[in-house]
Amino acid sequence: MAAIMDLLSKRKNEERESESLLNEIYRISDALELAYERFELQNESDLVEATIFEIEALKARYRYVLGLAKQQNISANGKRL
């Protein structure tokens, strides 16, 4: 019985981790969209440069989290990431 409980607990933790990674991917995607919109509206060269750095940082974070999701075979909407 303890083995079954351990297995169920492990599965719950994996599901929570998967959900957390998916939420992070969606959050980063939304932040990227906003950063691209902000880039289009910027007039000041310093702000344009800052927005470019922000976009590049978000893209790097996205690649990292997406890689984690792929390693764990996480899928979203029936498609593997």
Any domain includes 39: yes
- Inside any domain, residue 4: no
Residue 12 in any domain: the answer is no
- Domain assignment present for residue 10? The answer is no
Q: Is the dihedral of CA 22, 77, 54, 31 positive or negative?
A: negative
Would 81 be classed as within a structural domain?
Answer: no
Domain membership of residue 19 (yes or no) is no
DSSP, collapsed to helix, strand or coil, labels residue 77 as coil
Distance of alpha carbon 39 from alpha carbon 5, whole angstroms: 51
- Give this prediction's pTM: 0.79
Q: Which domain, by its residues, includes 28?
A: 24-76
Q: How many domains does the chain have?
A: 1
Give the dihedral sign, CA 21/26/32/38: negative
Please check whether residue 7 lies inside any domain of the structure. no
Residues 16-56 pLDDT 10s = 888 999 999 999 999 999 999 999 999 999 999 999 999 99
In this prediction, residue 5 has a pLDDT band, given cuts at 50, 70 and 90, of low
54-79 per-position pLDDT tens digit? 999 999 999 999 999 999 988 877 66
* Cα–Cα distance measured from residue 73 to residue 69, given in angstroms and rounded to the nearest whole number: 6
